[in-house]
């Protein structure tokens, strides 16, 4: 039976040549009995032959695998080509006639081999499409748990040390107060003792003087004076008191009392939650569909990118007020329909395009690009009071991900190329004689686990690149683009940290704010002086003022571009405007 070529899926063609001699056409079919590769024309000719009319010709991908030649160990001249179903062993035709297999049922070994081969291929496919990816995802989750445990334990250690230091400070305070009280008691007691000692000293002097006077009377030559002398009246001995000394009563405390004060570690007595394993059906059945869909989307994006260019004019798509913020200082895209938006007062809001607030977080962030969304849609934001970078997962668990020490983290961006984190920071030091603070800035790269990979601070001449890098992003070629408020410039370095250029605007005054890049490598940056959005190419050449006050732009502060090449512009109000500028 001839097969129609139009029913052959394109991916079934392996560009193998037809197995018929002198035919150079592509192999599309396969004769299972002959184990012969055939093109469409040769397959039709093959089936026309009377001796081949019962042959099974199938698509090449559906072919039966040819049975490897294997000689029988008992009958070396015979090929093993049969399978005993009762004994479940392969054998040759001569073995089948022997008594051990009398009345057993035999089947063609090639059919069994083809069936087993197909089963193995299916299992290999399952392993590659389900078991390996699922296991690797679980392993990633396990490694993530390892990181979480480390950070949780570190936080507990910090808390324990803090509690211990607090208790030690309290102990030092109490001991100090007790010592002070004891010093006062000692002073009072010694003062009283000194007074009594002085009194007794005066009384003893009095007695000594009295004795001298009486002696003079006794040995006086004037007898009349002794006879007329009145009996002396001796003053009584002054009363004195014994000091009442203080006593110290030790506090009745034990180790358990200290534990109660400091707290103790305990592991919740709950069953460990099983990690979710996706069913093989949900993954295996959709794997190919997803692969083809992704390939198609990637191809469409690539084709679209190649034909994309700047539009002749900028078109406003929509505009809406963002609830929960006073102004739109920075925007991080979560999905095409979800955004994280912050204002200058530390309000960080997740919202959709219908103005529905999904969640709200109070942060220490200010008027800078201090938050970003990772490839896994986790939110990361900086805390400039504690000098830490926080990581919040989709189930709203907040962890102190990275500690930056003396450096204050300002801006942050999650790379769409490799998932690295780029962080703009600054620190202040006292200048000579402490007359004023000197500020220096840098950009630090971390990997997904929080390991520091790179520090960018100076150019090849040793000059400081940054002072106040308050917005940061990454271009499609890996360039790191930073908006530096104090430098009044857009500072761009390549992925190795080498300075490429600094853009200082078109006018005498230029104050850069929010910055982003697009699919063509353009750099878009807000200017707080002229109330415009500048468009540069990736080499720093000024192209145009993309948005000006003529488009009713008021104090633009933030910009970002989504996957559909929509430009989001946040202003010094709670207004967010969406534009189209590429075609």
What mean pLDDT do residues 427-434 have?
67
Domain segments of the chain as ranges: 5-62, 148-234+253-262, 278-307, 329-553
Angstrom distance (rounded) from CA 518 to CA 416: 12
Per-residue model confidence (pLDDT) at position 186: 92
Of residues 478, 422, 477, the one with CA closest to residue 454: 422
Reported confidence tier of residue 94, pLDDT bands at 50, 70, 90: confident
Of residues 307, 334, 338, the one with CA closest to residue 393: 334
State yes or no: pLDDT of 566 exceeds 50: yes
What mean pLDDT do residues 280-293 have?
56
Are 134 and 278 a contacting pair, CB within 8 Å? yes
Top pLDDT among 370 and 375 is at 370
What mean pLDDT do residues 545-567 have?
90
Per-residue model confidence (pLDDT) at position 503: 96
Per-residue model confidence (pLDDT) at position 285: 58
State the pTM of this model.
0.52
Per-residue model confidence (pLDDT) at position 228: 67
DSSP symbol at 12: G
State yes or no: pLDDT of 402 exceeds 90: yes
Angstrom distance (rounded) from CA 282 to CA 123: 16
Identical topology for domains 5-62 and 329-553: no
Are 526 and 533 a contacting pair, CB within 8 Å? yes
What mean pLDDT do residues 102-128 have?
83
SS3 state of residue 130: helix
What mean pLDDT do residues 507-524 have?
92
What mean pLDDT do residues 87-109 have?
86
Helix (H) or strand (E) holding 11: none
State yes or no: pLDDT of 356 exceeds 50: yes
Written as one string, the DSSP assignment of 539-564 is TS-EEEEEE-GGGT--SEEEEEE-TT
Per-residue model confidence (pLDDT) at position 432: 53
Of the listed ranges 90-94, 174-178, 239-243, 277-281, the least confidently predicted one is: 277-281
Per-residue model confidence (pLDDT) at position 15: 55
Per-residue model confidence (pLDDT) at position 478: 92
What mean pLDDT do residues 92-121 have?
84
Q: Give the phi and the psi of residue 101 in degrees, each rounded to 5.
A: -120, 25
Angstrom distance (rounded) from CA 417 to CA 475: 9
Of residues 89, 520, 161, 37, the one with CA closest to residue 308: 520
Angstrom distance (rounded) from CA 517 to CA 535: 9
Q: What percent of the chain has pLDDT over 70?
A: 89
How many Cα atoms sit within 13 Å of 205 on the Cβ side? 6
Angstrom distance (rounded) from CA 154 to CA 151: 5
Per-residue model confidence (pLDDT) at position 505: 93
Top pLDDT among 332 and 54 is at 332
Helix (H) or strand (E) holding 185: helix 132-218
Q: How far is CA 364 from the centre of its chain?
A: 18
Angstrom distance (rounded) from CA 143 to CA 166: 34
Per-residue model confidence (pLDDT) at position 137: 85
Tens digit of pLDDT for each residue in 248-275?
887 777 778 777 777 777 777 777 778 7
State yes or no: pLDDT of 3 exceeds 50: no
Angstrom distance (rounded) from CA 24 to CA 3: 19
Top pLDDT among 66 and 123 is at 123
State yes or no: pLDDT of 302 exceeds 70: no
What mean pLDDT do residues 129-143 have?
86
* Matching residue, tokens 């003079």: 216
Top pLDDT among 557 and 103 is at 557
What mean pLDDT do residues 34-58 have?
89
What mean pLDDT do residues 163-172 have?
87
Positive or negative, the CA dihedral 54, 55, 61, 67 is positive
Of the listed ranges 3-7, 55-59, 559-563, the least confidently predicted one is: 3-7
Cα dihedral value 548, 335, 294, 479, nearest 10? 50
What mean pLDDT do residues 349-372 have?
91
State yes or no: pLDDT of 5 exceeds 70: no
Is domain 5-62 in CATH 3.30.160, yes or no?
A: yes
Angstrom distance (rounded) from CA 312 to CA 284: 47
Written as one string, the DSSP assignment of 429-489 is EE-GGGSSEEEEEEEEEE-TT--EEEEE-B-TTS-B--S-EEEEEE-TTS-EEEEETTTTE
Neighbour-count burial for 517-552, b at 16+ CB within 10 Å, e otherwise: bbeeebbbbbbbebbbbbbbebeeeeeebbbbeebe
Per-residue model confidence (pLDDT) at position 431: 58
Are 388 and 450 a contacting pair, CB within 8 Å? no
State yes or no: pLDDT of 4 exceeds 60: no
Top pLDDT among 129 and 202 is at 202
Query: Which one of 6-20, 113-127, 362-376 scores highest in mean pLDDT?
Result: 362-376
Of the listed ranges 24-28, 386-390, 532-536, the least confidently predicted one is: 24-28
Helix (H) or strand (E) holding 65: none
What mean pLDDT do residues 361-376 have?
91
Angstrom distance (rounded) from CA 22 to CA 516: 61
Of residues 367, 273, 284, 353, the one with CA closest to residue 319: 353
Per-residue model confidence (pLDDT) at position 190: 93
What mean pLDDT do residues 190-194 have?
93
Angstrom distance (rounded) from CA 533 to CA 554: 11
Q: Give the phi and the psi of residue 296 in degrees, each rounded to 5.
A: -65, -45
Are 447 and 453 a contacting pair, CB within 8 Å? yes
Domain 329-553: top CATH class: mainly beta
Per-residue model confidence (pLDDT) at position 513: 97
What average pLDDT does the structure give for the chain? 85
Per-residue model confidence (pLDDT) at position 300: 53
How many Cα atoms sit within 13 Å of 233 on the Cβ side? 0
Tokens of 578: 């969406």
Per-residue model confidence (pLDDT) at position 8: 39
Neighbour count for residue 255 (Cβ, 10 Å) = 7
Per-residue model confidence (pLDDT) at position 448: 87
State yes or no: pLDDT of 568 exceeds 50: yes
Q: Give the phi and the psi of residue 323 in degrees, each rounded to 5.
A: -70, 150
| Residues belonging to the chain | 583
Mention every residue, 6+ apart, whose C-beta is less than 8 A from residue 505: 488, 512, 527, 529, 530, 534
Tokens of 434: 């402490």
What mean pLDDT do residues 47-59 have?
88
DSSP symbol at 131: I
Per-residue model confidence (pLDDT) at position 506: 87
Per-residue model confidence (pLDDT) at position 433: 53
């Amino acid at each position: 039976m001839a097969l129609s070529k139009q029913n052959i899926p394109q991916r079934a063609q392996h560009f193998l040549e037809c197995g018929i001699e002198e035919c150079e056409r592509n192999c599309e079919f396969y004769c299972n009995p002959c184990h012969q590769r055939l093109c469409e024309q040769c397959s039709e000719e093959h089936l026309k032959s009377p001796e081949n009319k019962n042959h099974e010709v199938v698509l090449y991908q559906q072919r039966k695998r040819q049975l490897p030649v294997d000689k029988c160990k008992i009958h070396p001249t015979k090929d093993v080509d049969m399978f005993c179903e009762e004994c479940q062993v392969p054998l040759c035709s001569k073995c089948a006639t022997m008594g051990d297999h009398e009345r057993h049922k035999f089947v063609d070994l090639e059919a069994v081999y083809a069936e087993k081969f197909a089963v193995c291929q299916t299992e290999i496919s399952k392993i590659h499409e389900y078991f390996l990816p699922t296991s690797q995802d679980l392993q990633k989750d396990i490694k993530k748990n390892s990181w979480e445990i480390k950070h949780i334990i570190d936080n507990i250690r910090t808390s324990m040390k803090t509690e211990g230091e607090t208790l030690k400070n309290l102990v030092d305070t109490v001991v100090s107060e007790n010592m002070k009280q004891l010093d006062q008691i000692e002073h009072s007691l010694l003062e009283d003792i000194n007074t009594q000692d002085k009194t007794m000293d005066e009384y003893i002097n009095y007695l000594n003087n009295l004795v001298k006077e009486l002696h003079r009377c006794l040995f006086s030559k004037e007898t009349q004076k002794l006879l007329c002398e009145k009996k002396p009246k001796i003053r009584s001995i002054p009363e004195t008191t014994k000091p009442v000394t203080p006593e110290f009563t030790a506090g009745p405390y034990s180790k358990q009392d200290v534990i109660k004060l400091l707290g103790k570690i305990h592991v919740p007595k709950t069953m460990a939650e099983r990690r979710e394993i996706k069913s093989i059906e949900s993954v295996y059945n959709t794997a190919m569909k997803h692969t083809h869909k992704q390939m198609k989307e990637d191809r469409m994006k690539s084709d679209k990118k190649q034909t994309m260019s700047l539009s002749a004019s900028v078109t406003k798509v929509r505009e809406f007020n963002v609830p929960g913020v006073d102004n739109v200082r920075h925007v991080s895209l979560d999905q095409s329909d979800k955004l994280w938006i912050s204002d200058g007062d530390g309000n960080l809001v997740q919202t959709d395009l219908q103005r529905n607030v999904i969640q709200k977080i109070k942060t220490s962030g200010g008027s800078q690009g201090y938050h970003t969304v990772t490839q896994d849609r986790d939110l990361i934001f900086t805390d400039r009071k504690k000098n830490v970078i926080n990581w919040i997962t989709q189930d709203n668990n907040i962890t102190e991900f990275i500690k930056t020490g003396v450096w204050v983290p300002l801006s942050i961006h999650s790379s769409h190329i490799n998932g690295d984190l780029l962080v703009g920071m600054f620190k202040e030091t006292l200048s000579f004689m402490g007359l004023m603070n000197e500020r220096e800035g840098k950009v630090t790269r971390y990997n997904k686990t929080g390991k520091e990979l790179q520090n960018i601070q100076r150019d090849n001449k040793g000059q400081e690149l940054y002072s106040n890098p308050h917005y940061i992003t990454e271009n499609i070629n890996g360039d790191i683009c930073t908006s530096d408020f104090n430098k009044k410039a857009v500072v761009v370095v390549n992925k190795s940290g080498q300075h490429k250029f600094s853009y200082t605007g078109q006018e005498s005054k230029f104050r850069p704010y929010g910055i982003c890049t697009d699919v063509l490598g353009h750099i878009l940056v807000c200017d707080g002086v002229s109330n415009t959005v500048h468009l540069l190419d990736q080499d720093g050449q000024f192209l145009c003022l993309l948005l000006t006050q003529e488009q009713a732009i008021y104090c633009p502060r933030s910009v970002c571009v989504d996957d559909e090449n929509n430009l989001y512009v946040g202003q010094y109000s709670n207004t967010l405007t969406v534009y189209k500028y590429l075609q």
